[in-house]
Amino acid sequence: MIKGVEAMTGNEFILYTREKCPLCNKAKAILDEVAMVTGITYKEFDIYSDDELLERFGLMIPVLEWQGAVIQYGMIDPISLIDQFQKDKA
């Protein structure tokens, strides 16, 4: 099992990133904005911290996961996230 990730459950996004990744930095800024609207925070995992993560997500990052499922990768879309998770709260 991937270190640290197995303990992540509940109402928190998991964001897979790496260093020197402009799209990852943009994704973090977007998720900070999404958190202000939805109240949903995120935990970040560097794919270089685990060989399994690197193999799984090497060319896809940033990757956003929700409750074990990949929901977005590459360019993170804040509008669809806010729409989806505001609907889930209703």
Domains of the chain: 5-89 (3.40.30.10)
> DSSP assignment of 14-53, as one string?
EEEE-SS-HHHHHHHHHHHHHHHHH--EEEEEEGGG-HHH
* pLDDT score recorded for residue 56: 95
Burial (CB < 10 A; 0-12, 13-18, 19+), residue 7, is exposed
Neighbours of 66 (CB within 10 A): 18
Q: Report the pLDDT value the prediction gives residue 7, as an integer from 0 to 100.
A: 45
> What mean pLDDT is reported for the chain?
88
Q: Give me the mean pLDDT over the 74-90 stretch.
A: 83
pLDDT tens by residue, 19-42: 999 999 999 999 999 999 999 999
Q: Is the pLDDT of residue 89 over 80?
A: no
- CB 23 within 8 Å of CB 61: yes
Of the given ranges (8-17, 19-28, 29-38, 51-60), which has the lowest mean pLDDT? 8-17
Q: Flag whether pLDDT at 88 surpasses 60.
A: no
